[in-house]
Structure 1
């Protein structure tokens, strides 16, 4: 990053032109949401348009020298400064709020539509906060509710340092196992919204996280063992806001406006287990879309027009959730191995751990496209529950039940906007991913045609994965 450096005019013009060319067929892109808009275009032309747009974006980026692209992305604009708040104090407030939610889940209403815990965990936090983190930076660093209690425990034990040394062979596997269970709970479990069960799971997660930080140290556990801290920290590097320390005043940060995703260039290569974790964040969202399609349900021998409920596909979807992850991981590692054959300077684990960073913007884009309609539906419940947290029939805003569904989602123009937002997010995420992969590839070594062609297998995989998302959107599903 170069503070205050202006964007090179000629290069920026080329970039904007390239962006316009790729976004022009934006309706050809989208990840499955909730079938908010019925696609009436012929599927063959629809898939062809998406394929050509993806290929065009790869060609436009690959023609640029990586060094020149990195210099362009190093441009930044100072926008002010900010005093660093107390991490412990904010975490303590977040912990008290989470404690109140847990108590609400354990002793409050059993109706998920009147209990604040389910809607807060699934919609406000996992559905919405992910985007706030990617837009504003690492807010979770302060809002993590486990920071304050873990520091309190260490203070009471009079052991500020870790009690145990974190085993290197363990890698990111605690995060993988935790996120795998979290995905299973959300996508497969019979009652993920049940307030009492959810409260127990949240309490268990909080206890494990605090114990992990006390035993192995705060930094190492949040970086290796806690799936949400690890994932959200990666997403924070997509933010267009870059806070940098001020040597003259360590309590303040100077803020710079940068190109979204440019901070990903400076991340180190992930371990193999870290690579598998990032791929799990992408595959879980993809499986959610796949599990709703008629084709998937037919494989389970179920008539999608008479869907009997989650209990009928519990074992089938459990296998599918982790099976899709294994397929995605095998495909990714396979194309990296092909790249190594083309460019022998690559080393499989390092190349996989470095290039997987380019998957982060794609994972965010798919997350946005998938959760957008869900969040719009849940908005009506969020407003109602927070306006009546004690379930006393309060309605301070005077809103009608299901006001979002009645006044917004049934409007054709509104649904068209949703569709375009989904499509635009996936296109933008794809473009950022291509640029990041192109720059990161230069760090793997090699010169000449081998260094460029080695990226082709990964490019093909991204094209196929985009087509898979297009098929998910076009395929009939249970909504």
Structure 2
């Protein structure tokens, strides 16, 4: 349950008493009118943005097969209607849901599951053993197994299992990674903790790690050549095991290992949580209102990286993205720099530049929120407190991005697991029906609405005044809407193969 707010950080704001109830009601009416005007303005700007990007093609991201995706068969008016409905719902939440008792009661509802230490202990042992054996088999078959991507256990487990399926399990059910992490299991038999992990590092190594992994996925043929992927897995294994040995296993996997941090953050969206040593079932996203989910600026940078990497991979596999890369490579620069190195520089520049823009937009929202609230709460504190709801948007993006891949290649993964040494040369690949693609819009909007609700709850937890809590959300709502409009735009139009990557 979110902690009750303190009055020490706010200037001239407090809970209404019997003497000030009339003033508070007047303030609520003012907030309502301001919210209506704000919603109308956002609707207008969104319509303008949609018109401007109407001619640009887009896709929902890179796939294992590297094949272009057909355009989504949903009329343009539906995009406008769904976008308007999302914005309207956001404004509605910010304007009318002002009952603190209701907000806190929803987030305090939970069911504690029976404690079964023996089952949990054996589950941990079996999970660690299985994960280590699976890691060894995946690397071995990457070099010795079939080099056909759709038949390779190495590629299917990595991209269909770990990249697509395991995060879905994590944010829809609960985080299984502490049990399935093979590298953490290996470090339990090694001496660790030779140096103290610097506090100044926080989770910045994990931020650099996740960005590097995404860059490698884009530039190198890790999703099409099993031997290249096996080499990458070996390199990652050496890196993360060495870090755990040097700095202590628990500290390393809590702060610096990108995969562990990724699953921890996605797990905050799930309905199954661990609290004080017990396993509880809560409403999905309830954990996002807790103040200890995000504690440092590096956490914000990591969450924005989760959102941006899916947006980026979606853009570069579109006709617009392909045309942008081709234009640069075929420009006069192409006469001075070979095509492939120039293309890689272009991909890298777009990746880094877009990430900086996404991160800067969120940080600037914190600055604007402080100006609107006019309190002693710093923009840094506001940004930290309202960052966890972005994980709901990231989860919605991921589900929209990988649901089709997970469904289509699950039979191939099953065949490779059943017969890893001799999988069928032509594994079964499903073709989801046309309506399935429309679910991507539902996933994106569901993540957005959950994020809006949790941001609303977090603001009420941070600020004692209802009016201040409402006003603090406006810049962040605008940023969230911007992220969502971009994602819907990427889902709406046909894709293309990313050029010059071979």
When normalised by structure 2's length, the TM-score is: 0.77
Taking the aligned partners of 1:361 and 1:224, their CA distance within structure 2 comes to 21
Aligned to 1:8: none
- Report the CA distance between 1:430 and its aligned residue: 1.4
- Report the CA distance between 1:164 and its aligned residue: 1.0
- CA gap 1:317/1:392 in 2 versus in 1, 3 angstroms: closer
Structure 1 residues 239-294: Cα deviation after superposition (integer angstroms, max 9, x where no partner): 22234557xxxxxx4x4432101022224233111211110011000011111222
Aligned to 2:472: 454
Alignment of 1:250-399 (within 5 A): 253=278, 255-268=279-292, 269-301=294-326, 313-343=343-373, 344-391=375-422, 393=424
SS for the counterpart of 2:182 is: coil
Alignment of 1:217-256 (within 5 A): 217-244=248-275, 253=278, 255-256=279-280
Alignment of 1:116-155 (within 5 A): 116-154=153-191
- CA gap 1:378/1:318 in 2 versus in 1, 3 angstroms: farther
- CA gap 1:310/1:359 in 2 versus in 1, 3 angstroms: farther
SS for the counterpart of 2:360 is: helix
- Report the CA distance between 1:372 and its aligned residue: 1.2
SS for the counterpart of 2:281 is: strand
- Asked if structure 1 preserves the Cα contact closer than 8 Å seen for 2:441 and 2:488, the reply is no
- Asked if structure 2 preserves the Cα contact closer than 8 Å seen for 1:146 and 1:209, the reply is yes
- CA gap 1:31/1:340 in 2 versus in 1, 3 angstroms: farther
Among 467, 470, 476, the residue aligned to 2:485? 467
- CA gap 1:385/1:281 in 2 versus in 1, 3 angstroms: same
- Asked if structure 1 preserves the Cα contact closer than 8 Å seen for 2:71 and 2:492, the reply is no
Alignment of 1:152-167 (within 5 A): 152-154=189-191, 162-167=193-198
Structure 1 unpaired stretches of 5+: 3-27, 247-252, 304-308, 395-400
Aligned to 1:75: 109
Structure 2 unpaired stretches of 5+: 3-49, 51-57, 62-67, 329-338, 498-502
Aligned to 1:32: 60
Q: Does 1:51 align with 2:83?
A: yes
SS for the counterpart of 1:56 is: helix
When normalised by structure 1's length, the TM-score is: 0.80
Structure 1 residues 394-452: Cα deviation after superposition (integer angstroms, max 9, x where no partner): 9xxxxxx46444xx43xxxx321x13432222222112111111111233335243331
- Report the CA distance between 1:89 and its aligned residue: 5.3
The Cα RMSD (Å) is 2.9
Taking the aligned partners of 2:59 and 2:148, their CA distance within structure 1 comes to 31
Count of residues in correspondence between the two structures: 421
- Asked if structure 2 preserves the Cα contact closer than 8 Å seen for 1:190 and 1:311, the reply is no
Q: Which moved more, 1:266-275 or 1:163-172?
A: 266-275
